[in-house]
Amino acid sequence: MANTKYVFVTGGVSSSLGKGIIAASLAKLLQARGYRVTIQKLDPYINVDPGTLNPYEHGECYVTDDGAETDLDLGHYERFLNTSTSQANNVTTGRIYQSVIEKERRGEFLGKTVQVVPHITNEIKERIQILGKSGDYDIVITEIGGTVGDIESLPYIEAVRQLKWELGDTNALVIHLTLIPYLSAAGELKTKPTQHSVKTLMESGIKADILVCRTEHELSEDLRRKLALFCNVRQEAVIQSIDASTIYDVPNLMLEEGLDAVVLKQLVLRDDNVPNLDKWNDFLKRHKNPKCEVTIGLIGKYVELQDSYKSILEAFIHAGAENEVKVNVESIHSEYIDDKTIANKIAHLDGVLVAPGFGERGIEGKIKAVQFARENKLPFFGICLGMQMAVIEYSRNVLGLKDACSVEVDENTTNPVISLMEEQKNITDMGGTMRLGAWDCELADDSKVSEAYGASLIAERHRHRYEYNDQYKEQLEKAGLRTTGTNPKTGLVEIVEIPEHPWFVGVQYHPEYKSTVANPHPLFVAFIKAAVEYSNCKKDAKVAQGS
Ligand code: GLN
């Protein structure tokens, strides 16, 4: 589409400056002015997608409706914009090369020597323009992963240079996100690293149009002038991005700094339409003024790295704001939960969430946590592996099937209550072969979930190989573990609940991926509500005891 405008976001000086949050915040402001915006992330690593990466390497693997396993930044985009992303929104070097090599094998290059320039760069340019050409967007924001100067991001930088030249300065611009370090010994903010990184970008033929400067301290007018002069940008295009207490403050901070206005001016787009952030600010008000607090235990095995459970943590923030409570999340390593430690680690909590995961490590601790929550009527939420652990726990401790297990953990168990789906049995490739993306689920009447969703048919995103084994359904139901969600086409069990328990829900899918600021996920909202009720009962009991 000729009229789609492109904004590229590059990073300099240091990694982890939050390009994703800046891109999402700019997109939010443009959306709030009525523009149709999407964001794309280009990742310079060779994995075809992050699905094969350990969460310790790269944080959570985010999943879209169309079943793409993607970078966690796409989660920020969806949470900020409340619109769906897809496979086209995340492209890696692996995917680019895979597609070029497949074309070469099909003979599509007609005998030419296939090279980084132009073949790889052309493929990158095509991938960037796919979203623009769909006609669905006025503005496409493309975030280039990594830091300028990295060997692996060179083809991306060259593709951006070419596109900018082809599209012209009023149709494409580059935002460079950089760091202004503060030297406490000198009491000074330093601009030199930024000057160098802008120069590195320039060596590749790209002039940064806008500088977004991460800083711990306010940038003075003098410093802004200096940055503008030495980095060759207009002074109004030097944007301060000061450390914020929450990522959800960043759109307002960018609005104050005029980032959206500078972008619109350069792209020659209307800028008299004031951004409407009313709903966003309502959320912020509730988030910042909680009436009480609850503590939830997040039981997982990747707890050392916060990014491993990014979407779950964000879903708690949305659900907390909705309930006007502060949700404190205590990360608990499942490997360290055993009979001796369990009470110490869990008894003080107001709710337990058993996290998704893969493999054998930490499984028994998760099962113990489920048992504790079930027996003590502590609100319980099991997600994916967490739901599978709930089924195992119930089979072992209520049905009495002592060796009940998942075949993922014990291939030879005589009671495989969680087993491999038929279509998964012959799979040898690990990448992109799980049950992925959005699947329908029918909810049972009079269940906690149908009450929470206020619907009878939902669609939620999946990422797993193993399933609740239907052969145990009758026994489990009779013993009190009710199936309250089923895939209408395949009959696969998606949700289990214990009706006798105040709030005990296990879901085979990942509700956290669909929680956004505008639409907090109904199950997280209901879980936090149950945790508040539990916490109030605890307080009442203490008062009663004291009196
Ligand atoms: N490892 C389990 C499976 O593959 C659960 C996956 C998950 O929690 N995402 O079925």
Nearest-CA residue for atom 5 of ligand 1: 385
Task: Of 24, 10, 5, give the one whose Cα is nearest residue 211.
Answer: 10
Strands 188-189 and 351-354, bridge-based pairing: unpaired
Q: How far is the CA of 84 from the centre of ligand 1 (A)?
A: 23
Looking at the DSSP assignment, which residues form a beta bridge with residue 330? 297
Q: In the chain, pLDDT over 90 holds for what percent of residues?
A: 87
Task: Of 396, 534, 547, give the one whose Cα is nearest residue 472.
Answer: 396
Tens digit of pLDDT for each residue in 59-114?
899 999 999 999 999 999 999 999 999 999 999 999 999 999 999 999 999 899 99
Ligand 1 nearest atom to the CA of residue 510, by list position? 9
Q: In b/e form, how buried is each residue of 284-302, taking b as 16+ CB within 10 angstroms?
A: bebbeeeeeebebbbbbbb
Task: Of 168, 164, 134, give the one whose Cα is nearest residue 1.
Answer: 134
Residue 386's CB is within 10 A of a number of other CB atoms, namely 25
- What is the C-alpha to C-alpha distance for residues 21 and 24, in angstroms, rounded to an integer? 5
Pocket test residue of 60, 302, 353, 384 for ligand 1, highest count of atoms within 8 A of CB: 384
What's the mean pLDDT in 107-129? 96
Nearest-CA residue for atom 1 of ligand 1: 358
What residues are annotated to the active site?
A: 384, 510, 512
Ligand 1 nearest atom to the CA of residue 408, by list position? 1
Residue 105's CB is within 10 A of a number of other CB atoms, namely 8
The whole model's pTM is what?
A: 0.95
Pocket test residue of 60, 408, 409 for ligand 1, highest count of atoms within 8 A of CB: 408
Q: Which residue has the tokens 């060997």?
A: 151
Q: How far is the CA of 452 from the centre of ligand 1 (A)?
A: 24
Q: How far is the CA of 359 from the centre of ligand 1 (A)?
A: 8
pLDDT of residue 1: 41
For 187-201, 398-412, 415-429, which range has the lowest pLDDT when averaged over its residues? 415-429
What's the mean pLDDT in 500-529? 98
pLDDT of residue 545: 77
- What is the C-alpha to C-alpha distance for residues 28 and 260, in angstroms, rounded to an integer? 9
Average pLDDT, the chain: 94
Looking at the DSSP assignment, which residues form a beta bridge with residue 188? 183
Task: Of 204, 224, 209, give the one whose Cα is nearest residue 168.
Answer: 209
What's the mean pLDDT in 155-167? 97
Q: What angle do CA 412, 354, 389 make, to 5 degrees?
A: 25
Rg (CA), the chain: 25
Q: How far is the CA of 457 from the centre of ligand 1 (A)?
A: 23
pLDDT of residue 2: 52
Ligand 1 nearest atom to the CA of residue 463, by list position? 9
Ligand 1 nearest atom to the CA of residue 434, by list position? 4
Strands 172-179 and 188-189, bridge-based pairing: unpaired
Pocket test residue of 388, 460, 492, 509 for ligand 1, highest count of atoms within 8 A of CB: 388
Nearest-CA residue for atom 6 of ligand 1: 464
Strands, E assignment, 339-379: 351-354
Residue 240 near residue 257 (C-beta atoms within 8 A): yes
Ligand 1 nearest atom to the CA of residue 357, by list position? 8
Tens digit of pLDDT for each residue in 451-505?
999 999 999 999 999 999 999 999 999 999 999 999 999 999 999 999 999 999 9
Q: How far is the CA of 463 from the centre of ligand 1 (A)?
A: 7
pLDDT at 547 over 60: no
Q: How far is the CA of 59 from the centre of ligand 1 (A)?
A: 16
Q: How far is the CA of 508 from the centre of ligand 1 (A)?
A: 8
Query: Length of the chain in residues, anyone?
Result: 547
Q: How far is the CA of 462 from the centre of ligand 1 (A)?
A: 9
Tens digit of pLDDT for each residue in 324-347?
999 999 999 999 998 999 999 999
Q: In the chain, pLDDT over 70 holds for what percent of residues?
A: 99
pLDDT at 425 over 80: no
Pocket test residue of 358, 430, 460, 509 for ligand 1, highest count of atoms within 8 A of CB: 358
Pocket test residue of 464, 509, 512 for ligand 1, highest count of atoms within 8 A of CB: 464
- Residues touching ligand 1 (Cβ under 6 Å) are 356-358, 384-385, 408, 463-466
What's the mean pLDDT in 525-529? 98
Q: How far is the CA of 384 from the centre of ligand 1 (A)?
A: 6
Ligand 1 nearest atom to the CA of residue 466, by list position? 10
Residue 172 near residue 70 (C-beta atoms within 8 A): no
Nearest-CA residue for atom 3 of ligand 1: 464
Tens digit of pLDDT for each residue in 259-282?
999 999 999 999 988 999 999 999
Residue 198 near residue 227 (C-beta atoms within 8 A): no
Q: What angle do CA 485, 440, 51 make, to 5 degrees?
A: 105
Nearest-CA residue for atom 8 of ligand 1: 356
Residue 490's CB is within 10 A of a number of other CB atoms, namely 15
For 285-299, 408-422, 517-531, which range has the lowest pLDDT when averaged over its residues? 408-422
Ligand 1 nearest atom to the CA of residue 355, by list position? 8
Alpha helices in 258-382 (DSSP H): 259-266, 278-288, 310-323, 342-346, 363-375
